[in-house]
Amino acid sequence: MEVGGGSGPGWDKLLYMFEEGNARMRQILGGKGANLAEMTRIGLPVPPGFTITAQACVYYSATGSFPSGLDEALDDGIRALERRTGKSFGGEGEPLLLSVRSGAAVSMPGMMDTILNLGLNDRTVRGLAGATGDLRFALDCYRRFLTMFGNVVLRIPHDRFEDRLSAEKARVNARYDVDLGPESLERLCGEYKQLIRASSGSDFPQDPRQQLAMAVRAVFESWNNPRARVYRQVNRIPDDLGTAVNVQCMVFGNTGSDSGTGVVFTRDPATGARELYGEYLPNAQGEDVVAGIRTPRPISQLAGDMPQVYQELVRLCELLERHYADIQDIEFTVEHGRLYVLQTRAAKRTAAAAVKAAWDMAQEGLLSREEAVLRVDPDQVVKLLHRNIDPRAKLEVLATGLPASPGAASGRVVLDADRAEELGQQGERVILVRPETTPDDIHGIVAAQGVLTSRGGMTCHAAIVARHMGKPCVVGCDAVRVEPDSRELRIGERRLREGDLISIDGATGRVILGEVPLVEPELSPEFQGILAWADEFRRLKVRANADTPQDAQKARSLGAQGIGLCRTEHMFMDAGRLPVMQEMIMAETEEERKRALDRLLPMQQKDFEGILKAMEGYPVTIRLLDPPLHEFLPNVEELAVEVAKGRLLLELEGGDAGPSGGAGAAGEGGARVGRSSRAISPGDLARKEEVLRKARALAEFNPMLGLRGCRLGIVYPEIYHMQARAIFLATAALRRAGIDARPEIMMPLVGHPRELEVTRALVQQAAEEVRRETGVDVTCPIGTMIEVPRACVAADRVADHADFFSFGTNDLTQTTFGFSRDDAEGKFLPIYLEQGILRDNPFAVLDGDGVGVLVEMACRLGRKTRPDLKLGVCGEHGGEPRSIALFHRFGLDYVSCSPYRVPIARLAAAQAQLRETVGEREKVGE
């Protein structure tokens, strides 16, 4: 029977029975609803129900009311469930009870709200007791429903219910909820209804249909609760998707020892190992497992407790994993020995598990190699590079809990999420320590280096969220006692204060006193295999940004195919070179400047020999000096203070030796100050004064747009000439030694074709000089960074003098937006992101609508002039997956990023190619 018709803004249907949907309807039914429909379709034991579409939520969010026809559709859906089950919604015989759950198109575990046992009231609870012959069970369901309805729908803090529950357990000396008898539960139900009336101003609603309408509204509203908004922002989920609402017949895991509830993963979500992983609780409902109130049992124990149920669960896990060709996260309930599946979804997993599962499933024939490459999230790959505790370190292990999410972290203890966020924003490394986390702690988990809880199991909230974020997490550490009133933490006999340093090891569950030494990870064979496949599929080459031979070697070991940006200014900051660089800057004449440059040349040559040798056979793009010269001089304000102090000390010293002999107290005091504090000679002071004068002369109102980049090479051509000679001498020396050195020289900040023409001629002159001196042809490609909008719009003329373009997207973003990055990120960008003015930080993700348009224009114009023009990018966007997809689309030849992001870029480049290929196939199919 078809139900759920209605009128709304462009939809024919607001509600689908499970049997009417399928897995392809995620945008309409949400992920949970689509999977419930799919499992129903293939005949799995799914309790019947229906799904209210996500579009109804979108309408409600915009208007504050249900779309026309939804009330009638709900009535139709309830009647269909009554016919299917033979139960009555609100009936006093065998009442129909419902769960009401959220379910967006993109999984957001724990971020929105759920209500169980809906339909109970003072009458139906007696009907449930009569139908089941178990008054305790019926009252337990009622007190759970009152708690959830009061918290989720009426927004009464959960702690107020928990306080009354704890007080009742203490009164009757009960350890767990299951130890409470019918009298205690009935007393609690009465107290809860009194609490609801006192807090909300109204009695608890006894009409089940009113309960349902209120619950649906509450789930719709939970789409925009603070934790859901934070989660969407962190995970880049659009705000306009809305959530579907799944209304499903209740099955009960709290009906006795032959019942229970649990969560099972078809493979280990931490490692990817092919084995069932999960937990269950006997005689419990679903929220008991994730809440961490009772310690769950490992899923393997179900084999002994309920062998037939366990075998059926194993069969269902195998079937669902094959059907979806992915690791499944399955919620189940056992009611009187019968297994029901309440949900399946693609499992959240660690990066290591994602890689291993993709590789293994390809070997097992569940996935093609292309599908395996697409299955691994490039953003998550960076978490594979987790640091671990140095095995040689001596550790003071305070306690051991459950290893919920791998990696190690050190930080200061904080006991609440708000404090974690506050300190995290100040740059402090913190470990969030809680009895257990709730979805409301999401902002603190985001800010923390890691999470430690005293309660909960491997599938509790903290474990799931930390694994997804790639943060170390230890849960269920019984030895930890959080004392929020005193802001202290007790671990066994040791007492720690908030702010003390601890470390956690998410791979072993250890909690360690103080900060620990960490070691870098190694890439697994499975990951190397996935990357090898990615290399076969991708068109974009991947280079690295590296300034030292050590960085170049690391980049090469991670698969870099060259250096896309070698910043020469970093080479001058060494303590042994900086004085010579400052001497060059202080020079008053060209001759003096050349003498200093002659001393710098062999140093530069050695630098270039090292990095060219490390990348033998691969191109190394060397950017000539870019920053303004004053950056190599001391800070003007600090230097001015030093000069002022020096003058004062010399004056005081001079006063002590003055003509009058200085016999008075003041003179003696001055002499004492002079003798004890003298730190500068007249000659040193004169030199500092000269440096201060030069630094002030070089200071600029806006250094980013001042005398820097190619402008330096034009105003002081001897600087670029020296650097070019050093590059070519290094190249000649290496080539004579049989080493395949491949330099490329890049001019920074070119905005006008003549700038590149002039500096190119300068470099070519140096190449000819070295050729004559060494007999080695050192000709190399010469190109420019594209960092200002004028270079983009004049790219056809700039290309007349360029062998390649490399987009410096960091500065191009600044100059396009008119933002100073440091000021923007520190002052107003967070507000822009919060208010939705910008969807992403444009310095992290390429602004496709603005900066991206300029990049695409420059590519098109440049290749119009020179079809063989090589195109690359060397800004930070070169290692960001969504930006890489744009660069692929624009036709770039390579991206360049930091060494540790090279594997991410390799994978993202392959996925861009594969998605383009799939898109082309779909067009052909049309």
CA 247 to CA 593: how far, in whole Å?
79
Q: How far is Cα 685 from Cα 196, in angstroms, rounded to an integer?
A: 77
Dihedral sign (CA 448, 452, 458, 462): negative
Following DSSP, what letter does each residue of 505-573 receive, concatenated?
ETTTTEEEES---EE-----HHHHHHHHHHHHH--SEEEEE-SSHHHHHHHHHTT--SEEEEEGGGGGG
Q: Look-up: residue for tokens 């004053």?
A: 630
Catalytic residue (choose from 566, 780, 859, 874):
874
Q: Which two tokens stand for residue 862?
A: 């440049």
* Neighbouring residues of 316: CB distance < 8 A, sequence distance ≥ 6: 44, 330, 339, 341
- How far apart are alpha carbons 25 and 28 in whole angstroms? 5
C-alpha to C-alpha distance for 721 and 601, rounded to whole angstroms: 10
β-strand 338-346 against 494-497: which pairing, if any?
Answer: unpaired
658 burial class (0-12, 13-18, 19+ CB within 10 angstroms)? Answer: exposed
Three-state secondary structure call for residue 847: coil
Contact 426, 489 (CB under 8 A): no
CB atoms within 10 A of CB 701: 6
Nearest one of 300, 310, 311 to 275, comparing CA atoms:
300
- The tokens for 96 are 């129909």
Burial 162-183 (b: 16+ CB within 10 A, else e): eebbeebbeeeeeeebeebeee
For 735, other C-beta atoms within 10 Å of its C-beta total 17
CA count, 13 A, side-chain hemisphere, 215? 32
Is 468 tagged catalytic? no
Tokens for 245?
């609402």
Going by C-alpha positions, the residue among 364, 196, 400 that lies closest to residue 266 is 364
Contacts for 586-593: CB closer than 8 Å, 24+ residues apart: 586/690, 586/691, 586/694, 590/718, 593/716, 593/718, 593/719
Is 570 an active-site residue? no
Decide if 425 contacts 408 (C-beta within 8 A): no
Give the Cβ contact number of residue 300 at 10 Å. 13
Backbone angles phi, psi at 296, to 5 degrees: -70, 165
Q: Tell me which of 386, 443, 461, 801 is the catalytic residue.
A: 461
> How many Å apart are CA 43 and CA 46, to the nearest integer?
8
What would you report as the CA-atom Rg of the chain, rounded to the nearest whole angstrom? 34
Q: Tell me how far apart the terminal alpha carbons of the chain are, to the nearest angstrom.
A: 33
Residue 70: its H or E element: helix 70-85
List residues with catalytic annotation.
Answer: 461, 874
